């Protein structure tokens, strides 16, 4: 009877070899993307990267990750597509309504004490989070003394964010979120329904600047009173998370607020000692030193 050699991790020797090879191909592709286009995905969580890149390999009907690398190097359009694949743009208006409630409860009173606030929404995707924040600030009579800098690595999503037209099919869910988030008016006051979708009131964007910014590579560009970066670092490895925490720490004013996603935490950061928890569940932190 033929004996198939097995590794201690339960994989056959051939299976382990295939995985090792795939890892080399993946590392080479990420290095190539970085050197050719300057996008640095080398410290993104590998499991999700591998899944997304293999999906692109299949869709392009290519034999291997190396073949995709070859295409990427020569064709910027393939890079643009991969950027969309890798940047995972899932978002929603008033995503996690309890977070927005906590923001109203803990952050709004602090903002009232400032004559002017600069807010950075990092990894804003197609903008739903930014429109939600603008609505919340408007309802708290704080919007006219705020400026929101909304950034993302991906220029395509920023373009959609600037348009501010979101699918009508999602308005029912968003209305529910808005109510759960402590919304004070009728959600439909903020948009006009049309063939293309729900077009949000342009005046909501009067104090918003959208710009491309790469958290893995770019530097601080201002000092902020609030930084909101939700559901972005979850895709980063520990070392990249550390870089981003450092960037945020350098960009936050003393007593500034940092808001993370439900599955993200400052606890693992070297800066944890400089922050107090305003709300542990909603991941709201305040820089105290």
Ligand X SMILES: C[S@@+](CC[C@H](N)C(=O)[O-])C[C@H]1O[C@@H](n2cnc3c(N)ncnc32)[C@H](O)[C@@H]1O
Q: Which residues bind ligand X (CB under 6 A)?
A: 87-91, 95, 123-125, 129, 152-154, 157, 214-216, 230-232, 261
Report the residue number, 14 or 209, with the smaller CB distance to ligand X: 209
Report the residue number, 11 or 281, with the smaller CB distance to ligand X: 281
Report the residue number, 87 or 269, with the smaller CB distance to ligand X: 87
Sequential DSSP letters for 236-256:
B-HHHHHHHHHHHHHHEEEEE
For residues 130 and 124, the answer to whether their CB atoms sit within 8 Å is yes
CA atoms within 13 A on the CB side of 212: 9
Report the residue number, 244 or 278, with the smaller CB distance to ligand X: 244
CA distances from 36 to 63, 194, 278 (A): 22, 41, 42
Q: Minimum Å distance from CB 85 to ligand X?
A: 11
Q: Minimum Å distance from CB 186 to ligand X?
A: 23
Q: Minimum Å distance from CB 47 to ligand X?
A: 16
Sequential DSSP letters for the chain:
-PPPPB-TTS-BHHHHHHHHHHHHHHHHHHHHHHHHH----TTB-HHHHHHHHHHHHHHTT-S-HHHHHHHHHH-HHHHHHHHHHHH-----TT-SHHHHHHIIIIIHHHHHTSS-EEEEEES-TTSHHHHHHHHHHHHTT-GGGEEEEEEES-HHHHHHHHHTEE-GGGHHHHHHHHHHTT--S-GGGGEEE-SS-EEEPGGGGTTEEEEE--TTT----S-EEEEEE-SSGGGB-HHHHHHHHHHHHHHEEEEEEEEE-TT--STTSTTGGGEEEEETTTTEEEE--
Report the residue number, 101 or 255, with the smaller CB distance to ligand X: 101
Report the residue number, 70 or 85, with the smaller CB distance to ligand X: 85
For Cα atoms 68, 27, 87, give the angle at the middle one, nearest 5 degrees: 70
Q: Minimum Å distance from CB 177 to ligand X?
A: 11
Q: Minimum Å distance from CB 254 to ligand X?
A: 25
Report the residue number, 81 or 89, with the smaller CB distance to ligand X: 89
Report the residue number, 43 or 277, with the smaller CB distance to ligand X: 43
Q: Minimum Å distance from CB 77 to ligand X?
A: 18
Q: Minimum Å distance from CB 9 to ligand X?
A: 30
Q: Minimum Å distance from CB 236 to ligand X?
A: 8
């Amino acid at each position: 009877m033929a004996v198939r050699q097995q590794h201690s991790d339960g994989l056959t020797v051939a299976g382990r070899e295939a995985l090792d090879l795939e890892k080399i191909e993946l590392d080479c592709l990420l290095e190539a993307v970085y050197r050719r286009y300057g996008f640095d995905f080398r410290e993104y969580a590998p499991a999700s990267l591998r899944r997304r890149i293999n999906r692109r390999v299949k869709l392009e009907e290519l034999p291997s990750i190396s073949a995709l690398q070859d295409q990427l190097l020569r064709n910027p359009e393939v890079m643009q597509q991969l950027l969309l694949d890798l940047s995972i743009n899932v978002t929603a208006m008033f995503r996690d309504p309890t977070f927005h409630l906590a923001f109203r409860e803990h952050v709004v009173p602090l903002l009232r004490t400032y004559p002017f606030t600069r807010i950075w929404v990092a990894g804003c995707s197609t903008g739903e989070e930014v429109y939600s924040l603008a609505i919340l600030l408007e309802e708290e009579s704080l919007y006219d003394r705020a400026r929101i800098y909304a950034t993302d690595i991906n220029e395509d999503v920023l373009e959609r964010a600037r348009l501010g037209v979101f699918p009508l099919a999602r308005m029912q869910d968003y209305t529910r979120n808005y109510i759960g988030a402590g919304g004070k008016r009728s959600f439909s006051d903020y948009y006009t329904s049309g063939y293309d979708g729900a077009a949000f009131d342009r005046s909501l964007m009067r104090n918003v600047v959208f710009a491309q910014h790469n958290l893995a590579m770019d530097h601080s560009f201002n000092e902020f009173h609030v930084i909101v970066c939700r559901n972005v670092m979850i895709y980063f490895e520990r070392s990249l998370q550390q870089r981003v925490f450092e960037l945020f720490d350098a960009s936050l004013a003393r007593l500034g607020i940092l808001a993370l996603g439900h599955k993200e935490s400052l606890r693992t950061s070297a800066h944890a000692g400089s922050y107090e928890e305003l709300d542990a569940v909603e991941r709201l932190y305040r820089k105290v030193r």
